[in-house]
Amino acid sequence: MTNTVSTVGTGADGPGQPGPAAPPDAPPAAQQPDWPDRAALRAVADELATLPGLVLAEECDRLSDRLAAVARGEAVLLQGGDCAETFDGVTEEHVRGTFGTLGEMSALIAEGAGLPVVQLGRIAGQYAKPRSSPLETRDGQTLPAYRGDLVNGLAFTPEARMPDPGRLQRGYRISATTLNLLRALAARRTTEFWTSHEALVLEYERALTRDTPSGVYDLSAHLVWVGERTRQLNGAHLDFVAGIRNPVAVKLGPTTTADDALAIVDQLDPDRTPGRLTFISRMGADAVRDALPELVSKVEASGAQVVWMCDPMHGNTFVAPSGHKTRDFDRIMDEVRGFFEVHADLGTHPGGIHAELTGEPVTECLGGTKPVTPEDLPSRYETACDPRLNRRQALDLARALADLYAHHPPSRR
Ligand code: PEP
Ligand code: MN
Q: What is the DSSP letter of 372?
A: B
Largest separation between any pair of C-alpha atoms in the chain? 59
Task: Give burial (CB, 10 Å; 0-12/13-18/19+) of 14.
Answer: exposed
Is the CB–ligand 1 distance for residue 391 below 6 Å?
no
What lies within 8 Å, CB to CB, of 93 at 6+ separation is 360
pLDDT in tens, 16-74: 333 446 777 788 899 999 999 999 999 999 999 999 999 999 999 999 999 999 999 99
Contact 149, 86 (CB under 8 A): yes
- Which residue numbers in the chain have pLDDT < 50? 1-20
Ligand nearest to the CA of 279: 1
- Quote the CA–CA distance of 356 and 170 in Å, as a whole number: 23
Contact 295, 254 (CB under 8 A): no
Selection from 194, 174, 197 nearest residue 186 by Cα: 194
Question: Domain spanning 56-136+171-406 has what CATH number?
Answer: 3.20.20.70
Contact 283, 334 (CB under 8 A): no
pLDDT for 120: 99
Contact 67, 36 (CB under 8 A): no
Protein residues near ligand 2, an ion, with CB under 5 A: 83, 386
Q: Between the CA atoms of 114, 70, 65 and 120, what dihedral angle is there, to the nearest 10 degrees? A: -90
Take atom 10 of ligand 1 and give the residue whose Cα is closest.
228
Give the distance (Å) from ligand 1 centre to CA of residue 338.
20
- 325 by DSSP, 3-state: which? strand
Selection from 306, 315, 313 nearest residue 348 by Cα: 306
Distances (CA, A) of 354 to 65, 83, 281, 394: 19, 11, 9, 11
Give the distance (Å) from ligand 2 centre to CA of residue 383.
10
Contact 24, 12 (CB under 8 A): yes
Question: Which helix (H) or strand (E) element contains residue 54?
Answer: none
Give the distance (Å) from ligand 2 centre to CA of residue 187.
29
Q: How many residues does the chain have?
A: 413
User: Would the pTM count as exceeding 0.85?
Assistant: yes
pLDDT for 413: 63
Is the CB–ligand 1 distance for residue 130 below 6 Å?
yes
pLDDT in tens, 284-326: 999 999 999 999 999 999 999 999 999 999 999 999 999 999 9
- Quote the CA–CA distance of 97 and 223 in Å, as a whole number: 21
Question: Which helix (H) or strand (E) element contains residue 216?
Answer: strand 215-218
pLDDT for 376: 98
- Quote the CA–CA distance of 178 and 103 in Å, as a whole number: 17
Amino acid identity for residue 191 in this structure: T
Nearest atom within ligand 1 for CA of residue 83: 3
